Amino acid sequence: MKDQGVSEICSTCPYCGVGCGVRLLADGQGGLTVRGDPEHPANFGKLCSKGSALGETVGLEGRLLSPRVHGREANWDEALDLVAQRFRETIEQHGPESVGFYVSGQLLTEDYYVANKLMKGYVGAANIDTNSRLCMASSVAGHRRAFGTDTVPGTYEDLEEADLIVLVGSNLAWCHPVLYQRILAARKARGTKLVVIDPRRTASCDGADMHLALKAGTDAALFNGLLCAIHEAGALDKEFLATVQGFNEALIAASSDRDTVTGLSEAQLAAFYKLWIGTGKVVTVYSQGVNQSTSGSDKVNAILNCHLATGRIGTPGCGPFSITGQPNAMGGREVGGLANMLACHLDIENADHRAAVHEFWDSPRMADAPGLKAVDLFRAAGDGRIKALWIIHTNPAVTMPDADAVTKAIADCDFVVVSDITAATDTARLAHVLLPASAWAEKEGTVTNSDRTISRQRAALPAPGVARPDWEILAEVGRRMGWREAFDYACPAEIFREYAALSGLAGTLGRDFDISAKAELSDSAYMAMAPFRWPASATRNGGRFFADGRFYHPDGKARMLPIRYRPPASEPCTEFPFRLNTGRIRDQWHTMTRTARSPRLAAHLAEPFLEIHPEDARRLGIAPADLVRLENPQGKAILRARITDAVAPGDVFAPMHWTGETAPSARIDALVAANTDPVSGQPESKASTTAVARF
């Protein structure tokens, strides 16, 4: 923290997975000035529109200031006793599988650690899942299948050393703006080529060397085609392939289910393949357009196959690179926030890993199988299998696919607890118990960004009312459920040390995640901890994964998987002829709890809209700014038409931010079908079908 002003506090932006460092200056009256941290390795002082407007979002209007039980104000003891009692009774009567936690990539790692320990080690079930399931679960599954662990090998510096960057299903310019700016700077400095693969023409396509507007969901066919082209061109790295299992003629045969389904011309395909194959340093960046698919895991492995076949991984300027959406989606993966993972990248299916964690926690029981993933968790709440549900810092009544059904499931659940900073969300309104949580800039902890850099979030403002940090609320409930010693944490530093020590154990079991060098940090060293990228001790090749050609499967080899293209689960038909794509806009974040407070952010795109192609608009009699009605078997929405050829004929796009609180007719996830990837459980949020008509 050297060079910071006297009262400035170094922290991390609470929005996207770039994980920009910020410096906070409190005015002593509840206000906050925010600027980019010039020393943070993610952003070197730069911020995007959302980050630079953070100071406008810290007012207390709408904040939940005290616990509420059945709609009336309560004190902490009453609320926490009730939560502990209801969870304990439910477990006694119906077993550990009858309760669930649904958490968030907004949680700090220490919060996540306590929630995960409470559910998997003490409740004894794995029914804890995170909204990161909607974001990058397919990347996790793809990495585990190929590498043996959920390792993201890339770093931001790789993007600056690459000669070709391929963005697949990623509008980086809007969703990860500071990282996109780093790419633009690299392009200027060294002429890096940029290819964007996306059915929709986005801001990321501006100035790109190539935009491949493939048909929705056909990414795996495209990368299968690339693999065949690599093979045909004799561009395989035979030496590197000695470190890989699964490359053979059968795999090539399986990959030749032609790229014609992409809808791209032969000339476009040939130009892309030639550029990719002919460029030594390639980074393929992928995001929600790849992950949010019923074939998301296969798409990821189709991309990884190409990098493994050419040895373009483990060296500077090369590699596949999954970019996470949320500020701590990576931390959540590392700490075991997914229902099918244990902490520190240990595998829940592995008996040795389970036993090691069980012993480390010295816990009364241990989950012995993966728990319910997000979509299944809410289905189980709806049909009565989950009888007590704790939802923390997320708004599933808006953001889950089939959001109306999820709203009903939450409303029908016997006992629902919501921890949040506000009571004014669609989900909070359904809670039996509301717990006021500290917000960003009011709490202490760590987050991990997309390139494995762990940074501190720090408090610059006092928590209002009686709001408390999430780790403390979770630990209180754990103690009141009877596990006093295990949850007797005094501060987040204590949790971080325990987590770091557990990672050392994971390291001895051959896992990639090892930050045990931090296990002895003093409280003051934790408070002053500077950002660092793991592996902290640079145990392997200066911290660069796979540089030695060793992976994390038992035989040390990576895996190439035969991938067959599968179309999206919903096919357009006469009744529902449009393909519905959903996503973010530049200046809003998730369900706008924070960003809607900033007038300048709200001014960018002030109301919900539907992008529709001019040919479709003409045929349906839709004029610019008309209201249009969307309808499909899941739900309905009314949006303002934006007529643009950025979307293909037959495709429409709508943003995902608006809620029952801000625009009740525009909850777009009410129309998203709850179809999921069979491996990752990630929902297909970008390829539902819908009818569209003038309203």
- Minimum CB separation from ligand SF4 for residue 419, in Å? 23
CA triple 398-652-581, angle to 5 deg: 50
CB pairs under 8 A, 24+ apart, for 486-489? Answer: 486/117, 486/121, 486/122, 486/361, 486/362, 486/363, 487/114, 487/117, 487/118, 489/114
Which residues have C-beta within 8 Å of that of residue 383, sequence separation ≥ 6? none
* Residue closest to 133 by CA, chosen among 342, 385, 377: 377
Stretch near ligand SF4 under the rule CB under 6 A, chosen from 15-23, 403-411, 426-434, 508-516: 15-23
- Minimum CB separation from ligand SF4 for residue 585, in Å? 12
Considering only 23, 40, 50, 299, the residue that binds ligand SF4 (CB under 6 A) is 50
Please report whether residue 435 would count as binding ligand SF4 according to CB under 6 A: no
Looking only at the bridges linking them, the beta strands covering 433-436 and 415-420 are parallel
CB 644, CB 611: distance < 8 Å: yes
Please report whether residue 13 would count as binding ligand SF4 according to CB under 6 A: yes
Single-letter amino acid code for the residue at 230: I
Please report whether residue 51 would count as binding ligand SF4 according to CB under 6 A: yes
The 532-533 sheet, strands edge to edge: 445-448, 453-457, 532-533
- Minimum CB separation from ligand SF4 for residue 666, in Å? 23
CB 540, CB 147: distance < 8 Å: no
Please report whether residue 48 would count as binding ligand SF4 according to CB under 6 A: yes
Which residues have C-beta within 8 Å of that of residue 472, sequence separation ≥ 6? 489
Please report whether residue 331 would count as binding ligand SF4 according to CB under 6 A: no
Q: Which two tokens mark 375?
A: 């979509």
Shorter beta-carbon distance to ligand SF4: residue 159 or 434: 159
CB 237, CB 311: distance < 8 Å: yes
- Minimum CB separation from ligand SF4 for residue 212, in Å? 25
Taking residues 118 to 157 in sequence order and writing x for each that binds ligand SF4 by CB under 6 A, - otherwise, the string is ----------------------------------------
Taking residues 174 to 213 in sequence order and writing x for each that binds ligand SF4 by CB under 6 A, - otherwise, the string is --xxx-----------------------------------
Considering only 20, 80, 282, 441, the residue that binds ligand SF4 (CB under 6 A) is 20
Please report whether residue 529 would count as binding ligand SF4 according to CB under 6 A: no
Chain-centre distance for alpha carbon 55: 24
Considering only 11, 19, 174, 375, the residue that binds ligand SF4 (CB under 6 A) is 19
Please report whether residue 47 would count as binding ligand SF4 according to CB under 6 A: yes
- Minimum CB separation from ligand SF4 for residue 60, in Å? 22
Give the alpha-carbon dihedral of 644, 647, 650, 651, to 10 degrees: -120
- Minimum CB separation from ligand SF4 for residue 197, in Å? 21
- Minimum CB separation from ligand SF4 for residue 572, in Å? 34
Please report whether residue 15 would count as binding ligand SF4 according to CB under 6 A: yes
- Minimum CB separation from ligand SF4 for residue 185, in Å? 14
Q: Residue of minimal CB distance from ligand SF4?
A: 51
Stretch near ligand SF4 under the rule CB under 6 A, chosen from 42-50, 74-82, 604-612, 618-626: 42-50
Rg, C-alpha atoms of the chain:
24
Please report whether residue 41 would count as binding ligand SF4 according to CB under 6 A: no
For 240, the enclosing helix (H) or strand (E) is helix 238-241
CB 623, CB 665: distance < 8 Å: no
Stretch near ligand SF4 under the rule CB under 6 A, chosen from 13-21, 284-292, 295-303, 620-628: 13-21
> Which of helix, strand or coil describes residue 422?
strand
- Residue 510 burial (10 A CB sphere; 0-12, 13-18, 19+): middle
Single-letter amino acid code for the residue at 577: P
- Minimum CB separation from ligand SF4 for residue 47, in Å? 4
Place of tokens 């310019």: 173
Stretch near ligand SF4 under the rule CB under 6 A, chosen from 97-105, 170-178, 392-400, 679-687: 170-178
Enumerate residues 251-270 that contact ligand SF4 by CB under 6 A.
none
Chain residues in the site for ligand SF4 (CB under 6 A): 13, 15-16, 18-20, 43, 47-48, 50-51, 176-178
